[in-house]
Amino acid sequence: MAAPLSETTIATIKATAPALQEHGVTITTRMYERLFQNEGVRAMFDQAAQESGEQPRRLAAAILGYAQNVDKLQNLTGAVARMVQRHVDTGVKAEHYPLVAEALLPAIRDVLGEAASDEVLAAWGEAYWFLADILIGKEAELYAEQAA
Ligand code: HEM
């Protein structure tokens, strides 16, 4: 289990919610451009949902929901269960998570520019891995159940 996020990290993340509300889809669209430079990862995604903008919208909504509820994760139980199910359906594994982090954090900087200070990016790096660890743990349980 990851260490809890610090009060400072939580406050920094919550303060980014308005910018995410405004620019979330631009950030996730940029994130997928970066992520899909890896052909193997690109092939895991339904490209129609990319082209329609549906998947960038879903991810932006998930990130905004996370920013708004980072100190009340119980509100995200249903959303997390849905992500876990989709991830297991599409074969997402722990080793993919660094690739998404390496695409998402630069995309935040690309879009928010100077508003994404080093402090903001560090907080998002920490918060990303906090959520990623929850997803990775639940996905491992679901893979194990399916294998049993
Ligand atoms: C903390 C990190 C992540 C978050 C917050 C996240 C969030 C989401 C969300 C919200 C969905 C849509 C679920 C729905 O159908 O409603 C989704 C689907 C998906 N995610 Fe993730 N995800 C994360 C990490 C990853 C990683 C590491 C991969 C692997 C490359 C990945 C691959 C996918 C795929 C392939 C889908 C299905 C998309 C499709 O239908 O084309 N995700 N994710």
pLDDT given for residue 2 in this prediction: 67
Where exactly are the structural domains of the chain?
7-147
Q: Does residue 61 line the site of ligand 1, with CB under 6 A? A: no
Q: Does residue 60 line the site of ligand 1, with CB under 6 A? A: no
Measured distance CA(139)–CA(146) in Å, rounded: 10
Tens-place pLDDT, residues 76-131: 999 999 999 999 999 999 999 999 999 999 999 999 999 999 999 999 999 999 99
A 10 A CB-CB count for 55 gives: 18
Q: Whose CA is nearest to atom 43 of ligand 1?
A: 83
User: What amino acid positions are annotated as catalytic residues?
Assistant: 97, 139
Q: Does residue 46 line the site of ligand 1, with CB under 6 A? A: yes
What does CATH list as the number for 7-147?
1.10.490.10
pLDDT given for residue 103 in this prediction: 97
pLDDT given for residue 22 in this prediction: 96
| Backbone φ, ψ for residue 58 (5° rounding) | -65, -45
According to DSSP, residue 94 is labeled G
User: 5 CA to middle of ligand 1, Å?
Assistant: 22
- pTM of this prediction? 0.95
Residue 4 clears pLDDT 90, i.e. is over it: no
Tell me which of 82, 92, 130 to substitute to probe ligand 1's pocket, judged by most ligand atoms within 8 Å of the beta carbon. 92
Q: Does residue 92 line the site of ligand 1, with CB under 6 A? A: yes
Measured distance CA(61)–CA(63) in Å, rounded: 5
Are 61 and 24 spatial neighbours (Cβ–Cβ below 8 Å)?
Answer: yes
Q: Whose CA is nearest to atom 40 of ligand 1?
A: 46
